[in-house]
Amino acid sequence: MDRFSSMQLFTRIVELGSFTKAADDLLLPRATVTHAVQQLEKRLGARLLHRTTRHVSPTQDGAAYYERCLRLLTDLEEAESAFVNTGSKPRGKLRVDLHGTLAKHFLLPVIGDFFERYPDIELEIGMGDRLVDLVREGVDCVLRVGELAESSMVGRRVALLEQVTCASREYLAKHGTPDTIEALRGHRAVNFLSSRTGKALPFDFIVDGAPRQVYLKGSVAVTDADAYKVCCAAHLGFIQVPRYHLAAQLEVGALVEVLQAFRPAPMPVSVLYPHHRQLSPRVRVFVDWVADVMGRAR
C-alpha cells in the first residue's frame, strides 16, 4: 500500500472509529487494514491509535498526523481536479464554519439549492462565532460578520446588513424614547459580550458623518444572539443588531427602533479561507453560492 493510500485508510479509521468499518467502507480485508496501520506506525516510529475492543481513537501523535493527512489529501485531490475532467462538477468533503444566526436565517433554509447544483459535495458544517484556526483544524472556509482584522486569510465580502437600535415598546413607555445620543446615555442596555475580549461591546452610531461609540449600563450581558433578542423583548433595555434578526418583532411593534437618524454603518459579512484554498473548486463554488444568497439579504 503506497503512502497516500495509507493516509486515506488512516483518516477513515479515525473518522469511523473502527478498523472494521474502515475496511468495509474502503472494500478492503480487515487483515489488510490492520497490517497497513502497523506498517504506518513502524515507518513513522509513533503509535497513532488507541485500540480497544469497542472503539479506536487517535493518540496525540495520531491526531496531529490526521490533521496533516487531511490537508495533504485535500491538496492532492484539488491539484488533480484542476487538470482532470475539468467539465465535471466539484466533489468531495468541504468543511465550513458558519456564523450561527446568519446560517439559520439565510443559508440553511435554502441549503437544498446548493446540493441540487453540487450533489457530489459533502458539507461538514460547524456553527458559532469563535476564532477558528482554519489550517490547524482543517476548515476550508468560515462565514463571519464585522470588519476583518489583519489576517493571512483571503477575505471576500458577501453582504452589508443594515443595523438598528431598538427596545421593547413597554420599556420605552416606562422610560421614555431617546431622540439624541446624549439622551440615550441615561438608559439601560442588554449588553453583548465580545467572544474575543469577553467585554461588553459598545453601541455604534454615525453622528454628523463621524462614528461614535456609547457604552451603556445594564442588568444582563449575554454571548448568544437569540438570548440578546429575548432579553430585549423582556424589557431589559436597548440592543443593537442587524435588522433581519428582529424584522418580525419590529413589524408588529413589539420592538421599536430609535435614533434612526444616527444608525451605525451597515455590518459587513465576509467569507474567509486560506490562501492555499483559492484554487479549490469546492471552496470556490461554495463561496459563490454564499455570496449569491447573502447578496439578496436585507
pLDDT tens string 94-149: 888 888 888 999 999 999 999 999 998 989 898 866 555 555 566 788 888 887 76
Q: Which three cell numbers stand for residue 46?
A: 509513533
- What is the distance between the alpha carbons of residues 187 and 7, in angstroms, rounded to a whole number? 59
- What is the distance between the alpha carbons of residues 185 and 269, in angstroms, rounded to a whole number? 29
Same domain, 45 and 174: no
- Per the domain annotation, does 239 fall within a domain? yes
**CATH (domain of 193):** 3.40.190.10
Same domain, 100 and 117: yes
13 phi-psi bin (left φ>0, alpha ψ -120 to 50, beta other): alpha
Same domain, 110 and 144: yes
Q: What is the pLDDT of residue 192?
A: 94
Same domain, 141 and 175: no
pLDDT band for position 89 (cuts 50, 70, 90): confident
> Over pLDDT 90: what percentage of the chain?
47
Q: Output the average pLDDT for the chain.
A: 86
**CATH (domain of 29):** 1.10.10.10
Q: What is the pLDDT of residue 198?
A: 84
**What's the Rg (C-alpha) of the chain?**
25
- Per the domain annotation, does 134 fall within a domain? yes
- What is the distance between the alpha carbons of residues 291 and 111, in angstroms, rounded to a whole number? 13
Lowest average pLDDT, out of 50-64, 89-103, 139-153, 218-232, goes to: 139-153
Q: First CA to last CA across the chain, in angstroms?
A: 53
- Per the domain annotation, does 205 fall within a domain? yes
Same domain, 209 and 76: no
Same domain, 11 and 155: no
Lowest average pLDDT, out of 3-17, 63-77, 127-141, 221-235, goes to: 127-141
Domain count, the chain: 3
Same domain, 145 and 9: no
Judge whether residue 86 has pLDDT over 60: no
- Per the domain annotation, does 87 fall within a domain? no
Same domain, 173 and 247: yes
- In tens, the pLDDT along 181-218 reads 999 988 999 999 987 788 999 999 999 999 999 999 99
Contact between 293 and 269 (Cβ < 8 Å): no
- Please give the average per-residue pLDDT across 7-25, as a whole number: 86
Same domain, 77 and 106: no
pTM above 0.75, yes or no: no
Q: What is the pLDDT of residue 90?
A: 82
- Please give the average per-residue pLDDT across 15-39, as a whole number: 88
Same domain, 169 and 155: no
- Please give the average per-residue pLDDT across 32-45, as a whole number: 92
- Please give the average per-residue pLDDT across 42-56, as a whole number: 87
Domain containing residue 56: 3-81
CB-based burial of residue 31 (10 Å sphere; 0-12 exposed, 13-18 middle, 19+ buried)? exposed
pLDDT band for position 3 (cuts 50, 70, 90): confident
Q: What is the pLDDT of residue 262?
A: 95
- In tens, the pLDDT along 235-265 reads 999 999 999 889 899 999 999 999 999 999 9
- What is the distance between the alpha carbons of residues 215 and 202, in angstroms, rounded to a whole number? 5
HEC profile for the chain? CCHHHHHHHHHHHHHHCCHHHHHHHHCCCHHHHHHHHHHHHHHHCCCCEEECCCCEEECHHHHHHHHHHHHHHHHHHHHHHCCCCCCCCCCEEEEEEECHHHHHHHHHHHHHHHHHHCCCEEEEEEECCCCCCHHHHCCCEEEEECCCCCCCCEEEEEEEECEEEEEEHHHHHHHCCCCCHHHHCCCCEEEEECCCCCCECCEEEEECCEEEEECCCCCEEECCHHHHHHHHHCCCCEEEEEHHHHHHHHHHCCEEEECHHHCCCCEEEEEEECHHHCCCHHHHHHHHHHHHHHHCCC
- Per the domain annotation, does 184 fall within a domain? yes
Same domain, 130 and 277: yes
C-alpha distances (whole Å) from 63 to each of 2, 15, 58, 69, 115 are 21, 11, 5, 10, 30
Same domain, 115 and 65: no
Contact between 73 and 102 (Cβ < 8 Å): no
- Give the residue from 31, 46, 81 where a domain finishes: 81
